[in-house]
Amino acid sequence: MKPIISLSPHIHGGDSIQKNMYGVCIALVPALLASLWFFGLGAAIVLSVSVLSCVLFEWAITKFLLKRSVCTICDGSAILTGLLLGFNLPSNLPIWIIVIGALVAIGIGKMTFGGLGQNPFNPALVGRVFLLISFPVQMTSWPVSGQLTAYTDAETAATPLFIMQNAIANADPSELDKLPDAAEMLLGQTGGSLGEVSALLLLLGCAFMLWRKIITWHIPVSILGTVAVFSGIMHMIDPVYAMPHVVLMSGGLVLGACFMATDYVTSPMTGKGQLVYGVCIGLLTVIIRNWGAYPEGMSFAILIMNAFTPLINTYCKPKRFGEVIGKEGKK
């Protein structure tokens, strides 16, 4: 019997775009339920409009502008982009602004470059940063959690990031006394965007993705570890900077480290490259948070490092078969 020889890979691992995209969506479910619990009607409206708008725009652009016969909305990537965009928005954001954000995320951040697999920047973050720059007042009016029926008339309050930024600006460590305690921040009883509700549930989702091997540990651990070390050093130098555990649980740090920086398309391919990528994101996040114009630096840090991903891939290549590994020239 003649052996059948075909191109590699010879064994399929069972992974697919659809399987991994919906796997990430499943990992977001605990935090999604928490956002619905803490923000109620506002969270439901924001997330629904964001997801539906992203799916609709991807379908329309694919069919009418790109003239493609293959429908891509079923692979889960548009749904995931909508969820992540919604998680980066306040729960009282007007519907028309959410729709604009979805159009920018899908139309500019993704489809302009040819669609999934070809976009250099995370689409959800492109939409979020566009809205933050274009509509700064609406994007930084954070409702108080616990208002289950409020939407447009939700009462707003300062977020932990805003409190930390004020402490630095006023050089007054006593400002940090206004921060919620660690338990409240861990569970999500703080103001902010929908993705800031519960660090614990976001980490639970990250653990699920690690267990399912949807992502590897390199990017989340390098980001969170770098932020912890850098913010710890800053706190020891001057108590006006918040303690590391507070910094880790505030803002969209956990969401960005676990669900956005780990995007397959816009992150490096190798473990070594992902560690470099993660460390740089962590450093940039702390720098922007402490000395930048915006309280949150995670989105900007990820987008900046997205631009450096091709360069990181160039210098952090996997070893090829037959490469020389010793001084004696053995292969």
Structure tokens at 35: 């956002």
Listed residue (97, 82, 78, 95) closest to 47, CA to CA: 82
Which residue is associated with the tokens 């000395």?
Answer: 291
CA dist 43 and 271 (Å) reads: 36
d(CA 331, CA 316) in angstroms, rounded, equals 20
Q: Would you state the torsion angle of the CA atoms of residues 165, 143, 90, 86, taken in this order, to the nearest 10 degrees?
A: 130
The residues facing 156 across adjacent strands are 143
Q: Which of 238, 247, 308 is nearest to 274 (CA)?
A: 308
Q: Provide the pLDDT for residue 13.
A: 63
So what's the pLDDT on residue 326?
A: 57
Q: How far apart are CA 266 and CA 126, in angstroms?
A: 12
Please classify residue 329 by burial: count the beta carbons closer than 10 Å to its beta carbon, then call 0-12 exposed, 13-18 middle and 19+ buried: exposed
> Residue 129: what pLDDT?
96
- The token pair at 109 is 């951040």
Burial status of residue 229 (CB atoms within 10 A of its CB: 0-12, 13-18, 19 or more): middle
Distance (Å, whole) CA 285 – CA 25: 25
Q: Tell me what pLDDT residue 211 has.
A: 96
Q: Report helix angle 41-60 to 77-87, nearest 10.
A: 140
Residue 122 is predicted with a pLDDT of 97
So what's the pLDDT on residue 231? 96
Give the pLDDT score at 331: 47
What's the pLDDT score for residue 47? 97
The CA distances from residue 239 to 163, 230, 296, in Å, are 14, 13, 20
Rounded Cα–Cα distance for residues 169 and 163 (Å): 10
Please give the span between the terminal C-alpha atoms of the chain, in angstroms, as a whole number: 33
How far from 81 is each of 156, 192, 251, 271, CA to CA, in Å? 26, 19, 19, 24
In the chain (331 residues long), the average pLDDT of successive 10-residue segments reads 56 77 96 91 95 96 85 89 96 95 97 92 97 93 64 64 89 88 78 84 96 96 97 95 93 95 95 97 96 89 97 85 54 47
CA dist., res. 68 & res. 288, Å (int): 41
Using the CB atoms, write b or e for 259-283: b if 16+ within 10 Å: bbbbbebbbbebeebbbbbbbbbbb
